[in-house]
Amino acid sequence: GGIITQTPKFLIGQEGQKLTLKCQQNFNHDTMYWYRQDSGKGLRLIYYSITENDLQKGDLSEGYDASREKKSSFSLTVTSAQKNEMAVFLCASSMGGGAETLYFGSGTRLTVL
Amino acid sequence: GNSVTQMQGQVTLSEEEFLFINCTYSTTGYPTLFWYVQYPGEGPQLLLKVTTANNKGSSRGFEATYDKGTTSFHLQKASVQESDSAVYYCVLAHDSGYNKLTFGKGTVLLVSP
């Protein structure tokens, strides 16, 4: 089996700060995703990537950038953190597209002071 | 558009009771439907998956049946255990596109011993 590693597990930032979240997978999967999880709202897709150096916007991409420089890694940048923002960011990977099983990391919990 | 509705925000049961979590969906065509489970401190993981070809899925004592007539995909388990306490997400994949997953808002299951 494989594993998805997200770093850091907890991230505390200041308003207006640029913050970067990292994700590594050893499944050798082609597709990687970033989701945002807010209490009571389910998961919403921020960015996804179907191969190295590819980036596709999801429903919630405004305020975020992403980077896929290697097949095994996918990073997400919060371009300007919003005060009182609190959410969990989940990275996932899959072999292919929409009906494939997603494998998730355990998340990065963001708090903005 | 595509949507998934989980009306129950939280379900509270005692061990060995019957579990029923409601899920209805709206889409066109022939979707693939999933239940993902998220245990505390972890990312979501696949519980079961159903396509229009097989109509019913089961895993670890959980069952879900895809009903195209009522557009429902309810999750059931005959006898819950305390270890089943988690958040359960109903998920719709409505075509083969990479970003075509729609998550419900999730149902928190609390099982007391």
Stronger pLDDT, B81 or B93, i.e. the higher one: B81
Quick check: A103 and B45 CB within 8 A? yes
Rounded Cα–Cα distance for residues A98 and B95 (Å): 7
* A105 in contact with B, Cβ within 8 Å: yes
pLDDT one-digit tens code per residue, B25-72: 998 877 889 999 999 999 999 999 988 777 899 999 999 998 888 999
Q: How far is B74 from chain A (nearest CA, A)?
A: 17
The confidence score (pLDDT) of residue B98 equals 59
pLDDT the model gives residue B99: 60
Give me A7's structure tokens. 């770093």
Q: Is B103 on the interface with A (CB under 8 A)?
A: yes
Residue type, A63: G
B25 in Cβ contact with B90 (< 8 Å):
yes
User: How much is the pLDDT for B13?
Assistant: 98
A102 Cβ under 8 Å from any chain B Cβ: yes
Over the stretch B97-111, which tens digit does the pLDDT of each residue have? 656 689 999 999 999
**HSE (side-chain half, CA atoms, 13 Å) at B55:** 3
- Interchain pair A40, B105: CB under 8 A: yes
The predicted structure's pLDDT at residue A99? 76
Give the Cα separation of A60 and A86 in Å (integer).
15
Give residue A74's pLDDT.
Answer: 98
On whether the CB atoms of residues A66 and A2 are closer than 8 A, the answer is no
User: Under an 8 A CB cutoff, do A40 and B9 touch?
Assistant: yes
- Asked if residue B10 has pLDDT above 70, the reply is yes
CA distance B83 to chain A (A): 18
Residues of chain A scoring pLDDT < 70: 97-98
Cβ–Cβ < 8 Å for A89, A72: no
Classified as helix, coil or strand, B82 is helix
Q: Count CA atoms closer than 13 A to A86's CA, side-chain side.
A: 5
